[in-house]
Structure formats: structure tokens, C-alpha cells
Amino acid sequence: MVTPSPLAETPLERELRQAAGSVPDPELPVLSLAELGVLRSLRMTGPGKVEVELTPTYTGCPAIETMAADIERVLHQHGIPEVAVHTVLSPPWTTDAISADGRRKLQEFGIAPPRPTGPAPAGPIAVDLAIRCPHCGSTSTSLLSRFSSTACKALRRCESCLEPFDHFKELS
């Protein structure tokens, strides 16, 4: 299935994509599926029929079934009787798919957002490889555990304010 270009998207598809994209992530409810970047596509395939593509944050993500069920529920509430949600693994999801709003929300929630891993933009670039404490902003942080409450996060501690915090690990 090919992701339609935004120009080919109908007003109803745009409305349904916004509804599906507003579903909170089951493991990080501060983020919507659109902000997390896992909602790959949505398209009408016929009257009252929608197909949705989701790309999990990693292949074994246990939340993908909950995401699919939540999207189905929301689209049924928007009057769509037939919803098919497909898991798509290629190309794989990367942390670069997290929107700017998603990164801001992670920071505000007390989770250090992942650093960008994609190609560098043209022009001057500010290089900041340190992981900033989401509480005080210090770059003096240390790794406590490679895994935290989910496989996507690591547990770190700020050496300035001594607060522990999760860091959403970079996946490229």
C-alpha cells in the first residue's frame, strides 16, 4: 500500500487521519500517535472503509495491538464501520519521526527527548551531543541503566540536581 501524498488526501481522510493521530500512545500517553510518528498512513478504500498503516517503535513493541484497537475505536466513533489497521515494518520507525511538539511534550513530562539522528540540515548547525536533564537543563548527566520502564528508554541521573530521569533512546 502506498502512502498518499497530502495533495491527494481528501478532506474526510484528513479529518480521519487527525482523529487517528490524536490517539494517545499507550506507553507514553503524553504523546499522540501522530506526535510519536507511528501513524504511517490512512486512506479510504471504499464507502465506510479505511485502511491504516502503523509502524511500531520497534519490531516487538507490545503496544501495537492496543494502538490498533484504539484507532479502530476512534474511527468507528467517526462513523467508519470497516477499519483495517496494518503493521508496517519497512522502512523502520526512527526517533527522527517524533515531531517537534512530541519532543517538547517529552521534555515537559520529564523525559529527555531523543537527539536527532537524521541527515544534517543545510547551513550552520548547533552541535549538542549531551543529554540534557529535563528538570534543570544541565548536560552533566550519567547513565544508570540502559533500560527503564520501557525498552525505548534509558534511566539517567543529573549530576547537578541529582534527579533521575528517563531518556528516550535514539533509534536511527
Residue spans per domain, the chain: 11-87, 100-117+129-168
Domain 11-87 CATH (choose: 3.30.300.130, 3.10.129.10, 3.40.50.10190, 3.40.1190.20) = 3.30.300.130
User: In this structure, what C-alpha cell is assigned to residue 20?
Assistant: 487517528
- Taking Cα atoms as reference points, which of 73, 36, 34 lies closest to residue 58? 36
Average the pLDDT over 85-97 and give the result.
94
Q: Give the strands of the sheet with 164-168, arranged side by side.
A: 111-112, 164-168, 153-158, 141-145
* Mean pLDDT across the chain: 88
Average the pLDDT over 142-160 and give the result.
89
- C-alpha distances in angstroms, 57 versus 63, 64, 96, 145, 165? 9, 9, 11, 20, 20
Average the pLDDT over 103-118 and give the result.
88
Average the pLDDT over 90-98 and give the result.
93
Q: Give the strands of the sheet with 49-54, arranged side by side.
A: 39-46, 49-54, 82-87
End-to-end CA distance of the chain: 23
- C-alpha distances in angstroms, 75 versus 67, 72, 149? 12, 5, 30
Query: Greatest CA span in the chain, whole angstroms?
Result: 58
Bridge partners of 158, per DSSP, are 141
pTM, two decimal places: 0.78
Q: What is the pLDDT of residue 147?
A: 86
Q: What is the pLDDT of residue 3?
A: 45
In the predicted model, is pLDDT for residue 5 greater than 50? Answer: no
Which tens digit of pLDDT belongs to each residue from 117-127?
A: 766 555 554 44
Coil, helix or strand at residue 104: helix
Which tens digit of pLDDT belongs to each residue from 27-67?
A: 999 999 999 999 999 999 999 999 999 999 888 888 999 99
